[in-house]
Amino acid sequence: DAGVIQSPRHEVTEMGQEVTLRCKPISGHNSLFWYRQTMMRGLELLIYFNNNVPIDDSGMPEDRFSAKMPNASFSTLKIQPSEPRDSAVYFCASSPTSGRSSYNEQFFGPGTRLTVL
Amino acid sequence: QKEVEQNSGPLSVPEGAIASLNCTYSDRGSQSFFWYRQYSGKSPELIMSIYSNGDKEDGRFTAQLNKASQYVSLLIRDSQPSDSATYLCAVNRGRYGGATNKLIFGTGTLLAVQP
């Protein structure tokens, strides 16, 4: 079975440029999460969606960051304009929540390593 | 106080020994607990989940949960050099889906198994 798919795997860009990260969750999973990981701050939740609806975006650092989930099989995280402090690994994860019960297990994609020069 | 706390390590154990990784959490309402393994340069991989007090065993891994003490641990028996990785503890406040499936991660413990 295909796991969570992310693209690109690596992105190098210059300060001020727009960056778009993409994620395809595991088929049938209803929740999707965007995380950022750095050495200094560890793994931070940026935003998560349930049934394509944003539920909690309190982790989004500022207005330069935006995320969308137009359908159950695709999500984007956009940074505009990018800054050097945005350099990190960005992970997407999905979870098979259900109406009756959920054990909230999250499965991570391979991540996108972003470098902003 | 951090919501989920782990000793950053490194925790060094000899090959074949038992590695014991610990995690404490601050929210008494937490219901679901997870251990993830993360190799350097890779993504977190779910290895154990536990929801009830007591022990849960899966192969060489045993997760232990004590809600009264707000403590969860992971034991790795017969540690192998391939177990060398960062182990992340994650906690969820709600057992059911919907608005409560947000995980809070600790900063991780680096485990080094010496051959």
Return the percentage of chain A with pLDDT > 70, whole number. 94
Contacts of B108 in chain A (CB under 8 A): 42-43
Q: Is the pLDDT of residue B13 over 50?
A: yes
Q: Is residue B97 pLDDT above 60, yes or no?
A: no
| pLDDT at position B112 | 97
- Candidate ranges A17-21, A37-41, A97-101; pick with highest mean pLDDT: A17-21
Inter-chain touch B97–A42, beta carbons under 8 Å: no
Q: Is the pLDDT confidence value at B100 over 90? A: no
Asked whether the predicted pLDDT for residue B95 surpasses 80, the reply is no
CB contact under 8 A, B103 and A111: no
Locate the chain A residue with the closest alpha carbon to B46.
Answer: A107
With 70 as the cut, is the pLDDT of residue B106 above it? yes
Q: Which residue has the tokens 């707000």?
A: B70
- Give mean pLDDT, residues A49-55: 90
CA distance B87 to chain A (A): 12
- Which pLDDT band, with edges at 50, 70 and 90, does B103 fall under? confident
From A53's Cα to the closest Cα of chain B, the distance in A is 11
What's residue A100's pLDDT?
Answer: 44
**Residue of A20, A102, A52, A40 lying closest to B94 (CA atoms):** A102
Cβ atoms of A17 and A82 within 8 Å: the answer is yes
pLDDT-derived band at B92 (thresholds 50, 70, 90) equals confident
| Cβ–Cβ < 8 Å for A53, A75 | no
Contact present, B59 and B48 (Cβ < 8 Å): no
Among B91, B82, B69, B92, CA closest to B19: B82
Size of interface A-B (CB pairs under 8 A): 71
Number of other residues whose CB lies within 10 A of the CB of residue B114? 11
**Best residue in A6, A103, A112 to probe B by mutation, most B CBs within 10 Å?**
A103
Q: A52 touching B, CB under 8 A?
A: no
Q: What angle do CA A40, B100, A90 make, to 5 degrees?
A: 30
